[in-house]
Amino acid sequence: MISFSLTEEQLALQEMAREFAEKEMIPNAAKYDKGDQFSEDVMKKAFEVGFLTCTIPEKYGGGEMNDLDTVVISEELAAGCAGMYTTMMVNALAYTPVILFGTDEQKKKFLTPQTEKMSFASFCLTEREAGSDAGALKTRAKKIGKEYIINGSKCFISNGGLASFYVVFANSNPEKGMRGLSAFIVPREAPGVIIGKEEDKMGHRASNTVEMTFEDVKIPETNLLGKEGIGFIIAMKTLDKTRAPVGAAGVGVARAALEYAIEYAKNRKQFGKPIALFQNTLFKIAQMAMEINAARHLVWHAAWLMDEGKPCGKESAMAKAFGSDVAMKVTIECVQILGGYGYMKDYPMEKLMRDAKLLQIYEGTNEIQRLVISREVIGPIV
C-alpha cells in the first residue's frame, strides 16, 4: 500500500518547524550570515522546543523522532536558514553512532546530559589528507592498559567549537588499513583536546566549523563505540541515516528560493507587465516546482525505507545527491529571475545560493553519492 500522507503528528511537527523557521530563523538569518557567528539565542529556543535533541531516544530524554519526522522538519528548518539548520542537525549526525552502536551506559552518560541543557556534539571523520577517502585517515588510537591514547587532527568539523563531546574516528590497528578503524567518544574536557581556528566560509555562516587536534588524549576503554575495527561500518551506517536529511535540507533551500522568486516575479514589472507573465519565467518556475517535488519524493522514500528497517544505502545517496543538486540548480535560476537584485545582499537569494553549495559537498560529495549509487545499480563488472 502506498501512502503519501503524513500522520496528524507529522503534520503538527511540520507546522511547528515551519513556524519556528518563520518566527525565529528567517528574521535572524541575514544577521548571523553577515556576522559569521553562532546563533546562540535561536539555538536556545531550538533546544527548548526539542530540535537539538530530536533524534535521541525518549529513554535518554530526547524526542525519538523517526527518519520521516526528521526529514520533514529538516526541510522546514533549512528553508529558514541552512546555517542554523546545520548547527541543529550536526547534533543528530554526532548522536547517530552513539544511538546505533553505543551501550546503555554510554547513552546515559553522553546523550542524556545533552537533553538537560543546550549542548552540542561533533562528528570527527574528515582529515586534511582523508576527505572522500575516509578509510585513509591518519588519526591513531593506541590501547595502553584500560585506556586509549588518541593522536591526530581533523578538519572542517561542524560544531567543533561548541561541542561537549566528539565522536572521533581513529585507526587502532593501522596494519589492517580500513579494517583497523574504530570510533571513540571523546569528552571536550579531556586534556589534549584542542579546538583550532574557525573556518571563514562561503555559506552556512551561522554554523561553527573548526579544525580539531587530539594530542595524547587519554580516554577510558569504555568510550569505544561497538568494538575495535568497525569504525568504517559505524561511519557508513551513520551517513546512510543522515544523508536523506541533507537532501531534505536541499528541498527546503530550493523551496524557499522558489517561493521568494514567484512573489518577486508577480510584482516586478518590465515592458509594462509582471515578469511572471513571460513564458520564459513561467516555464522556469514549472520546471523548478517539478524538480523540488521529485526531490522531496526521493527524500521521503529513503526515510520511509529507513523507518521500515529496509536497506537504503542507494536511496539515501540518491536523496542526498538529487536534493542538493536541485537546491543548487534552483537557487542559481532564482537569482536569475531576480536579475541584478538577486545578486545583492539586501535580498535573501544570494545567501540561498551560497548555502545550497555546501549541501553538495558535506556528508560525502555528490560524486561519492554517485559512486555509491552506480556500484549498487551496476553491480560487479566481470
Ligand X SMILES: Cc1cc2nc3c(=O)[nH]c(=O)nc-3n(C[C@H](O)[C@H](O)[C@H](O)COP(=O)(O)OP(=O)(O)OC[C@H]3O[C@@H](n4cnc5c(N)ncnc54)[C@H](O)[C@@H]3O)c2cc1C
Interaction site with ligand X (CB under 6 A) = 90, 122-126, 131-132, 156-158, 201, 204, 209, 358, 361-365, 367-368, 371
* Cell numbers linked to 214: 587530539
The nearest distance, CB 365 to ligand X, in angstroms, is 3
Contact 16, 49 (CB under 8 A): yes
CB of 304 or CB of 362, closer to ligand X: 362
Euclidean distance between CA atoms 85 and 66, whole angstroms: 18
Closest to ligand X by CB, 131 vs 274, is: 131
CA distance linking residue 95 with residue 6, whole number of Å: 25
- Joined together, the cell numbers standing for residue 33 give 550570515
Q: Which is nearer to ligand X, 89 or 248 (CB)?
A: 89
Output the smallest distance, CB 350 to ligand X, in A.
18
Shortest Å distance, C-beta 371 to ligand X: 6
As a whole number of angstroms, the distance between CA 230 and CA 165 comes to 20
| Assigned C-alpha cell, 290 | 517539478
Extended beta strands in 40-164, E state: 121-124, 140-144, 147-158
Cell of 274: 509582471
Catalytic residue from among 24, 76, 315, 363: 363
Per the annotation, the verdict on 367 as an active-site residue is no
Taking CB positions, which residue lies at the least distance from ligand X? 131
- The three-point CA angle 289-295-298 to 5° equals 145
Cell numbers linked to 8? 496528524
198 membership: H or E segment, kind and range? strand 193-198
Please give the Cα distance from 292 to 326 (Å, whole number). Answer: 7
Q: Identify the H or E element spanning 210.
A: strand 209-220
Give the SS3 label for residue 163.
coil
Q: How far is the CB of 329 from ligand X (least distance, A)?
A: 17
- In whole angstroms, how close is the CB of 368 to ligand X at the nearest point? 6
Q: Which is nearer to ligand X, 159 or 281 (CB)?
A: 159
Q: Which is nearer to ligand X, 204 or 354 (CB)?
A: 204
Q: What is the set of active-site residues? A: 363
